Amino acid sequence: MNEVTVSAPGKLMLLGEHAVVYNRPCLVTAVDQRMRATIELLENSQEFQLEAPDVNVTNYKKPLSDLGVGDIPKGAQFVEVAVRNMTEKYPLSSGLKITTASEFSSLFGFGSSSASTVCVIKALSILLGINLSKKEIFDMSYKTVLDIQKKGSGFDVAAAVFGGTLYFVTGGRAIEPLPVFSLPLIVGYSGVKADTVTLINKVKESFAGREIILDEIYNGIKNLVEEAKIAVLKSDWQKLGDLMNQNQRYLRDDLGVSIPKLDDMINASLLAGAYGAKLSGAGGGDCMIAIAPKETQELVKAGIIQAGGEVIHVKNNAEGVRVE
- What amino acid positions are annotated as catalytic residues? 156
Query: Is 148 a binder of ligand MEV (CB under 6 A)?
Result: no
Residue from 153, 165, 296, 316 touching ligand MEV (CB under 6 A): that is 153
Query: Is 222 a binder of ligand MEV (CB under 6 A)?
Result: no
Closest approach of ligand MEV to the CB of residue 246, in Å: 17
Element holding 175 (H helix, E strand): strand 174-177
Query: Is 200 a binder of ligand MEV (CB under 6 A)?
Result: yes
Helical axes 134-149 vs 112-127, angle rounded to 10°: 130
Closest approach of ligand MEV to the CB of residue 169, in Å: 11
Closer residue to ligand MEV in complex, CB, 106/196 = 196
Alpha-carbon distance 51 to 147, whole Å?
22
Alpha-carbon distance 182 to 159, whole Å?
14
Residue 49 carries which side chain, given as an amino acid letter?
Q
Query: Is 21 a binder of ligand MEV (CB under 6 A)?
Result: yes
Query: Is 10 a binder of ligand MEV (CB under 6 A)?
Result: no
Query: Is 152 a binder of ligand MEV (CB under 6 A)?
Result: yes
DSSP 124: H
Closest approach of ligand MEV to the CB of residue 261, in Å: 17
Closer residue to ligand MEV in complex, CB, 218/237 = 218
Residue 36 · residue 322 · CB < 8 Å: no
Residue from 48, 108, 110, 155 touching ligand MEV (CB under 6 A): that is 155
DSSP 251-275: IIIIS----HHHHHHHHHHHHTT-S
Query: Is 225 a binder of ligand MEV (CB under 6 A)?
Result: no
Residue from 217, 274, 282, 287 touching ligand MEV (CB under 6 A): that is 282
**3 state SS of 243:** helix
Residue 217 · residue 250 · CB < 8 Å: yes
Closest approach of ligand MEV to the CB of residue 42, in Å: 34
Closest approach of ligand MEV to the CB of residue 86, in Å: 22
Report which of 47, 31, 60 is spatially closest to residue 87, judged by C-alpha positions.
Answer: 47
Report which of 250, 150, 145, 247 is spatially closest to residue 203, judged by C-alpha positions.
Answer: 250
Query: Is 196 a binder of ligand MEV (CB under 6 A)?
Result: yes
Positions in the binding site for ligand MEV (CB under 6 A) = 13, 17-18, 20-21, 152-153, 155, 196, 200, 281-282
